């Protein structure tokens, strides 16, 4: 890996994103619109007898979802384009190392995810009065980490798609089970044993638990740091797998 | 051993199909070598093997004395793919500057490469908004920006206007005069005459490997198109080709035996 090549590659990816103003606008605005929907959905519902309000519980987890879902899709398509337009083949004939490209995507879209999470968090805290015991900075950090995880998974999955239609289909395959089993809909402890076992190997479960820890505790807890480490480890693993799908020679 | 590119018995299979049937040839340094042949004859596969992105079934490909595709060659070999491989959502200048940076070149080098392919005025335009010919020149600028010692260009002049095409060929000869080796594919015979050396391939076999003048002389005609036709016919009937010892190559002979 070469720091200069990594830097110019990250810059190139961000520049591509910047030229696509509509995508940038959607990235920033859609989470706010969805948070608004959720806020009014629960506005007239009776508050639960104990624990956080329903909006607080759901909004906190949603802040982690947005970058995960969006960055997975964006990365899958971006990497598929690199493969289909021949830029990837060309890049691999230059001094660029595979890690320069993969980490370039991780940093660029990780930053984009962080910006998205920061805007959505600002709206959630200031407009809709989201209340967490822990710091909002930790929420944004976990959301950004989710973005990096999603980028890594997207880079890996793009290797198995030939067309953009196929790439989009990986979204329900990779993302939906993680959403369903992460503990938002049914607490993980109350699921059947085999569902818990699946939930235990899905990285998003740990991201959601980390967010819930921030919601419930004023100071970062050991559980939260452990969860953060698990998510980071999963991202690194997915990047390694993605590197294995990048072949300099093909048939 | 001063050849820039040397192929020995290169065999390539794609899927179950044999695309290259044992090709042997050499390209000396500092020349413009034309790779000619009809569409589907294996030109692109041969070029991909030279750049080191093609899985090879048999034989060796040596570039600048090293096995094709070795890490050290990545800063010394430039590659233009047939379909323009540049980022449609970046401007011409941004594309060139990115590829320049990968090769450790400056922004000024990038801007010069863009001007050299006649895109100076369009340099601020998004590649996605360019015409096909302009887009392929943007791609060419990115292949040349690293000032590689060996340049592999897959049909660089398709869709270009005749004046620009002449300019590009002049540029290729300038580069060759400065010591760069260029392997340029084309299926247009009028471009063959502009090359210092010609490699003619057909159905994955090398039919001729010589200078345009020697090929004309060997076939006994002045028109290169006609000369190639005769070489192909002679090759098909299995008779000794008029070009004799230096006109045909070991690769073809081996296949026949």
User: For chain B, which domains are there?
Assistant: 3-76+148-256 (3.40.50.300), 85-146 (no CATH)
Residue A69 pLDDT > 50, yes or no? yes
Alpha helices by DSSP H, listed for chain B, are: 43-51, 92-102, 107-116, 132-144, 162-177, 189-192, 212-219, 224-237, 244-247, 250-256
- As a whole number, the mean pLDDT across chain A is 93
For residue A71, is pLDDT > 90?
yes
| Number of DSSP helices (H) and strands (E) in chain A, helices first | 11, 0
CB–CB of B85 and A90 under 8 A? yes
Q: How far apart are CA A231 and CA A203, in angstroms?
A: 6
pLDDT at residue B220 in the model:
85
| Candidates A16, A89, A92; nearest CB to B87 | A16
Minimal-distance CA residue of chain A relative to B19: A251
CB-based contact, B29 to chain A, within 8 Å:
no
For residue B115, the model assigns a pLDDT of 95
Of B53, B99, B126, the CB nearest to A248: B53
Contact at CB, B101 and A5, closer than 8 angstroms: yes
CA–CA min distance B222, chain A (Å): 39
Could A249 and B99 be called an inter-chain contact, meaning their C-beta atoms sit closer than 8 Å?
no
pLDDT tens for each residue of chain B, 257 residues long: 579 999 999 999 998 899 999 999 999 999 999 999 888 899 999 999 999 999 999 999 999 999 998 999 999 999 999 899 999 999 999 999 999 999 999 999 999 999 999 999 999 999 999 998 899 999 999 999 999 999 999 999 888 888 888 999 999 999 999 999 999 998 787 888 899 999 999 999 998 899 999 988 888 888 888 888 888 888 777 644 444 444 444 333 333 33
- Partners of A23 in the beta sheet? none
Predicted TM-score of the model (pTM): 0.88
Residues 6+ apart with CB under 8 A from A240: none
Q: Does A2 touch chain B (CB under 8 A)?
A: no
Whether B88 and chain A come into contact, CB under 8 Å, resolves to yes
pLDDT above 90: residue A213: yes
Give the pLDDT score at B1.
53
Q: How far is CA A142 from CA A17, A139, A145, in A?
A: 23, 5, 5
Question: What pLDDT sits at residue B246?
Answer: 45
In the prediction, which pLDDT does B238 show? 62
Give the pLDDT score at A251.
78
Two tokens at B250?
């070991």
Tell me, what's the ipTM? Answer: 0.89
Average pLDDT of the residues in A128-134 = 93
User: How do residues A81-113 score in pLDDT, each as one tens digit?
Assistant: 999 999 999 999 999 999 999 999 999 999 999
What's the confidence (pLDDT) of residue B255?
Answer: 35
Q: Does residue A171 surpass a pLDDT of 60?
A: yes
Inter-chain CB proximity A90 and B142 less than 8 Å: yes
Please indicate whether, in this complex, the C-beta atoms of A95 and B103 are within 8 angstroms of each other: yes
pLDDT on residue A194: 95
Contacts of B104 in chain A (CB under 8 A): 4, 95
B142 close contact with A: CB closer than 8 A? yes
- B53 and A91 in contact by Cβ < 8 A? no
A164 touching B (Cβ < 8 Å): no
Set of chain A residues whose Cβ sits within 8 Å of the Cβ of B126: 19
Residues 6+ apart with CB under 8 A from A31: A62, A63, A66, A116, A119, A120, A123
Residue of A nearest to B74 (CA): A94
Q: What pLDDT is stored for residue B242 in this prediction?
A: 42
Distance CA A207, CA A63 (A): 11
What average pLDDT does this structure show over A32-53? 87
Q: What is the band of A49 on the pLDDT scale with cuts at 50, 70, 90?
A: confident
User: CA quadruple A23, A27, A29, A35: dihedral positive or negative?
Assistant: positive
Q: What is the pLDDT of residue B141?
A: 96
Nearest Cβ partner of A16 from B13, B53, B89?
B89
DSSP 8-state assignment for residue A161: -
The Cα of A218 is separated from the nearest Cα of chain B by a number of Å equal to 44
Tell me which residue in A5, A249, A251 faces B52 most closely, judged by beta carbons: A249
- Higher pLDDT: A150 or B250? It is A150
Nearest to A12 by CA among B114, B101, B124: B101
d(CA A166, CA B12): 30
Residue recorded with tokens 């995507």: A105
Query: Which residues on chain A are in Cβ contact (under 8 Å) with B74?
Result: 93-95
Cβ-based contacts of A91 with chain B (< 8 Å): 102
d(CA A232, CA A148): 8
Chain centroid to CA A188: 20
Cα angle for residues A36, A38, A42 (degrees, 5° grid) = 120
Task: Determine the pLDDT at residue B254.
Answer: 36
Q: How far apart are CA B123 and CA B93, in angstroms?
A: 5
How many Å apart are CA B158 and CA B187, to the nearest integer?
Answer: 9
**CB pair distance less than 8 Å for A4 and B101:** yes
A55: number of CA atoms within 13 Å, CB side? 21
- Does the pLDDT of residue A233 top 90, yes or no? yes
In the prediction, which pLDDT does B244 show? 42
Whether B90 sits inside 8 A of A249 (CB atoms) is: no
Contact residues, A window 66-95, toward B, CB-based 8 Å cutoff: 85-87, 89-95
Cβ–Cβ contact B74 with A under 8 A: yes
Q: How confident is the model at residue A232 (pLDDT cuts 50, 70, 90)?
A: very high
Q: Which residue of B has its CA nearest to A101?
A: B102
Count of positions (residues) in chain B: 257
> Nearest CB to A19: which of B54, B89, B102?
B89
Shortest CA gap B79–chain A (Å): 7
CB contact B162 to A (< 8 Å)? no
Beta-bridge mates of residue B20: B12
Rg (CA), chain B: 18
């Amino acid at each position: 890996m070469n720091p200069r090549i990594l830097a110019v590659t990250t810059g190139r990816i961000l520049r591509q994103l910047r030229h696509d103003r509509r995508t940038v606008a959607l990235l920033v605005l859609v989470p706010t619109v969805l948070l608004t929907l959720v806020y009014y959905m629960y506005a007239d519902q009776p508050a639960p007898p104990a624990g956080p309000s329903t909006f607080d519980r759901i909004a906190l987890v949603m802040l982690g979802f947005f970058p995960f879902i969006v960055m997975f899709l964006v990365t899958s398509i971006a990497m598929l384009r690199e493969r289909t337009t021949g830029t990837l083949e060309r890049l691999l004939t230059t001094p660029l190392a595979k890690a320069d490209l993969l980490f370039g995507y991780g940093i660029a879209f990780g930053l984009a995810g962080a910006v998205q999470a920061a805007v959505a968090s600002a709206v959630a805290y200031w407009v809709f009065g989201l209340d967490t015991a822990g710091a909002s900075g930790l929420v944004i950090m976990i959301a950004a980490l989710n973005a990096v995880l999603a980028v890594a998974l997207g880079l890996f999955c793009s290797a198995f798609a030939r067309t953009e239609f196929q790439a989009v289909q990986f979204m329900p395959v990779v993302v939906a089970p993680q959403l369903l089993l992460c503990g938002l809909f049914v607490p993980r402890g109350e699921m059947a044993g085999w569902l818990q076992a699946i939930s235990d190997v899905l990285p998003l479960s740990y991201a959601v638990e980390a967010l819930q820890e921030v919601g419930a505790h004023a100071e970062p807890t050991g559980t939260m740091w452990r969860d953060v480490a698990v998510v980071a480890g999963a991202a690194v693993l997915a990047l390694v797998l993605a590197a294995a799908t990048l072949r300099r020679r093909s048939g | 051993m001063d050849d820039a590119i040397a192929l020995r018995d290169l065999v390539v299979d794609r899927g179950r199909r044999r695309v290259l049937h044992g090709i042997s040839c050499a390209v000396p340094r500092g020349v413009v070598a034309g790779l000619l042949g009809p569409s589907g004859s294996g030109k692109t596969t041969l070029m991909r093997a030279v750049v080191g992105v093609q899985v090879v079934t048999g034989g060796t490909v040596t570039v600048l004395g090293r096995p094709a595709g070795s890490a050290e060659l990545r800063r010394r070999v430039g590659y233009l793919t047939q379909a323009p491989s540049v980022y449609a959502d970046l401007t011409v200048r941004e594309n060139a500057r990115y590829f320049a940076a990968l090769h450790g070149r400056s922004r000024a080098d990038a801007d010069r490469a863009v001007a050299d392919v006649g895109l100076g005025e369009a340099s601020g335009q998004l590649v996605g908004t360019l015409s096909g010919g302009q887009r392929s020149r943007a791609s060419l600028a990115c292949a040349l920006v690293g000032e590689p010692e060996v340049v592999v260009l897959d049909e660089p002049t398709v869709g270009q206007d005749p004046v620009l095409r002449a300019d590009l060929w002049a540029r290729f000869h300038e580069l060759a005069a400065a010591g760069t080796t260029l392997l340029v594919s084309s299926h247009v015979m009028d471009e063959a005459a502009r090359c210092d050396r010609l490699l003619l391939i057909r159905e994955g076999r090398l039919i001729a490997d010589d200078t345009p003048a020697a090929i004309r002389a060997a076939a006994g005609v002045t028109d290169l198109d006609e000369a190639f036709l005769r070489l192909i016919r002679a090759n098909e009937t299995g008779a000794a080709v008029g070009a004799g010892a230096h006109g045909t190559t070991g690769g073809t002979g081996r296949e026949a035996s």
